[in-house]
Amino acid sequence: MNNIKTEQDFIWDSLDELFPNTTSNIYPHIDEKHTLDAELKEKELYMIIDALNLCDYNQTHTASALGIGRTNLIARCKRLGISLKKDELEASPTFEI
């Protein structure tokens, strides 16, 4: 074969140096613990807790503020471990990120 390096060969060999993030994780701040699913669950958890506080734990008003139905709110709270009783909020979330 020919030992002469073409311009195309040079470009292909330089891609890793030119674009170092494209061969590995292009989002270095995201790791296994910060998946999209985990981030969405965490955001959902805090949005529900904030809405419950703003609506003084009225489930109908909280659900309306979040744009979901009351039964959907109850199901989400159960899934995330959020208590729907005002005095139990501090110890209620059992969700792990």
What one-character DSSP code corresponds to residue 1?
-
**Does residue 5 lie within any of the structural domains?**
no
CATH of the domain at 49: 1.10.10
Contact 48, 82 (CB under 8 A): yes
pLDDT by residue (tens digit) across 17-72? 776 655 455 566 666 667 888 889 999 999 999 999 999 999 999 999 999 999 99
Structural domain count, the chain: 1
**Does residue 75 lie within any of the structural domains?**
yes
Q: pTM surpassing 0.75?
A: no
Residue 52, classed as helix, strand or coil, is helix
Domain of residue 92 covers: 39-97
**Does residue 47 lie within any of the structural domains?**
yes
pLDDT by residue (tens digit) across 71-83? 999 999 999 999 9
**Does residue 33 lie within any of the structural domains?**
no
pLDDT-based confidence at residue 91 (cuts at 50, 70, 90): very low
**Does residue 23 lie within any of the structural domains?**
no
**Does residue 87 lie within any of the structural domains?**
yes
Distance, CA of 18 to CA of 85 (rounded, Å): 56
Residue in this structure with the two tokens 């792990």, named with its chain if needed: 96
